[in-house]
């Protein structure tokens, strides 16, 4: 089945993710987080594990908790440290113990209020708690609204690499309140924009051209921002409905991520040096440069992508990461642990051009090493 087109409900757009009896809506619009209580209560739950972090909690936690309580739901609140460092086993263990101590039952739900880290961690806890309870996403970053809150990927990092321990666990509901993005820093907005423009680069050249023309308004807020979130969710919902567990073309959503995840591992997941969206931006520029070197992609398309990301204020070269990121060998070791490796063979999402991304299996290690060595010098 394919995702249904979004429908309008007042000022709120609704995108359906069609997965049979596990289908769910994504509500996009200013103020939809205020509906958290009534929407979650409609799922038939009696208690909610509200998971947030030390940054988002003081900003938005009180209002969401009040909405849940007003709907007659018992709230068990759990707060984790902000940042990628929370995606690890000890934090998962502590979170599960907190939720269990709050007497959550199998018919209850976990609600993630935060960015991608909170969503990944809370979603994984929901997937394994009591062998699986319902999960609601209230993403508070642009990156989470356009990407990580949709599609059911949950997990934590391991020493070997990013997101290597986890589960597919679809949410029952996503509330993408674009008003919550008003509190983000410019850096976080730009990082989220990288995941937004990705959808144009994968398969929609018209959306990419729209992003080139409207990116300032997307970052500033208003109708352009809402449209960017809706279009991104629509694109991802369609792919997830076709390929829920990444057995086929869902892998295209990882454009830039094999390179980007390797960069994140190289800096030790230090968000002060590199946040996820910045790693994706560099990774997408690298994917297009590598594609051009292999003769897959016109060089002018690779240059167009790099120039646009740089104009937005995103990094496009590994040398722009503060403190350096090591050698080509360091990055290749990280890539060897990538989830898309099959039978020891490297798999990359490359491109024939803007809007024409492809899965390329069995990339030559020699070609990759030579490219990385050259790319690290520029």
Query: Which residues of the chain form CATH 3.40.50.1970?
Result: 7-183
Tell me whether residue 139 is exposed, middle or buried, using C-beta atoms within 10 angstroms of its C-beta: 0 to 12, 13 to 18, 19 or more. Answer: buried
**CA 279 to CA 321: how far, in whole Å?**
9
Q: Is 246 a catalytic residue?
A: yes
Does CATH number 3.40.50.1970 belong to domain 7-183? yes
The pLDDT of residue 156 is 97
Q: Is 236 a catalytic residue?
A: yes
Tens place of pLDDT for every residue, the chain, 378 residues? 334 434 444 489 999 999 999 999 999 999 999 999 999 999 999 999 999 999 999 999 999 999 999 999 999 999 999 999 999 999 999 999 999 999 999 999 999 999 999 999 999 999 999 999 999 999 999 999 999 999 999 999 998 889 999 999 999 999 999 999 999 999 999 999 999 999 999 999 999 999 999 999 999 998 999 999 999 999 999 999 999 998 888 999 999 999 999 999 999 999 999 999 999 999 999 999 999 999 999 999 999 999 999 999 999 999 999 998 999 999 999 898 776 666 667 889 999 999 999 999 889 999 999 999 999 998
Cα angle for residues 181, 184, 187 (degrees, 5° grid): 125
- Active-site pick, 134, 225, 276, 308: 276
Q: Is 352 a catalytic residue?
A: no
- Active-site pick, 225, 257, 289, 308: 257
- Active-site pick, 190, 254, 306, 339: 254
The pLDDT of residue 342 is 67
Q: Is 250 a catalytic residue?
A: yes
Number of C-beta neighbours around residue 159 at 10 A:
8
Helical ranges in the chain per DSSP H:
36-41, 56, 62-70, 89-101, 116-128, 142-143, 186-203, 205-220, 223-242, 257-266, 276-293, 299-312, 328-335, 365-376
- Active-site pick, 16, 35, 84, 195: 195
Query: Which residues of the chain form CATH 1.20.1090.10?
Result: 186-376
Residue 6 DSSP label:
P
Question: What is the H or E stretch that residue 25 is in?
Answer: strand 24-29
Q: Is 131 a catalytic residue?
A: yes
Q: For the domain bounded by 186-376, which CATH number is listed? A: 1.20.1090.10
Q: Is 195 a catalytic residue?
A: yes
- Active-site pick, 198, 225, 234, 261: 261
Q: Is 308 a catalytic residue?
A: no
What's the start-to-end Cα distance of the chain, in Å? 45
**CA 100 to CA 103: how far, in whole Å?**
5
């Amino acid at each position: 089945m394919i995702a249904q087109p979004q429908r309008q409900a007042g000022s709120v757009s609704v995108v359906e993710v069609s997965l049979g009896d596990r289908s769910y809506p994504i509500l996009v619009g200013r103020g939809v987080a205020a509906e958290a209580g009534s929407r979650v209560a409609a799922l038939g739950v009696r208690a909610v594990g509200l998971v947030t972090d030390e940054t988002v909690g003081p900003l938005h936690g009180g209002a969401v908790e009040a909405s849940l309580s007003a709907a007659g739901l018992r709230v068990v609140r759990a707060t984790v440290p902000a940042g990628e460092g929370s995606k690890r086993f000890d934090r998962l263990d502590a979170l599960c113990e907190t939720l269990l101590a709050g007497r959550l039952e199998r018919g209850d739900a976990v609600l993630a209020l935060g960015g991608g880290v909170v969503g990944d961690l809370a979603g994984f806890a929901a997937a394994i708690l009591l062998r699986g309870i319902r999960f609601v996403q209230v993403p508070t970053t642009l990156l989470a609204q356009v990407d990580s809150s949709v599609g059911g990927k949950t997990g934590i990092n391991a020493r070997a690499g990013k997101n290597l321990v986890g589960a597919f666990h679809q949410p029952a509901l996503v509330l993408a309140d674009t008003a919550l993005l008003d509190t983000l820093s410019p850096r976080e907005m730009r990082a989220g924009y990288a995941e937004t423009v990705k959808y144009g680069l994968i398969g929609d050249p018209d959306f990419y051209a729209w992003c080139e023309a409207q990116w300032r308004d997307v970052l500033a807020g208003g109708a352009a921002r809402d449209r960017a979130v809706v279009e991104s969710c629509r694109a991802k919902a369609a792919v997830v409905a076709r390929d829920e567990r990444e057995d086929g073309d869902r892998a295209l959503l990882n454009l830039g991520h094999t390179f980007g995840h390797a960069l994140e591992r190289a800096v030790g997941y230090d968000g002060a040096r590199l946040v996820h969206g910045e790693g994706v931006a560099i990774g997408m520029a690298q994917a297009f440069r590598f594609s051009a070197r292999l003769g897959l992609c016109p060089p002018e398309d690779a240059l167009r992508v790099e120039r646009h990301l740089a104009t937005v204020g995103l990094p496009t070269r590994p040398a722009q990461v503060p403190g350096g990121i090591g050698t080509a060998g360091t990055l290749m070791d990280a890539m060897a642990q990538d989830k898309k490796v099959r039978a020891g063979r490297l798999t990359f999402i490359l491109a024939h051009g803007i809007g024409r991304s492809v899965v390329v299996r069995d990339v030559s290690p020699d070609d990759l090493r030579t490219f990385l060595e050259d790319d690290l010098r520029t």
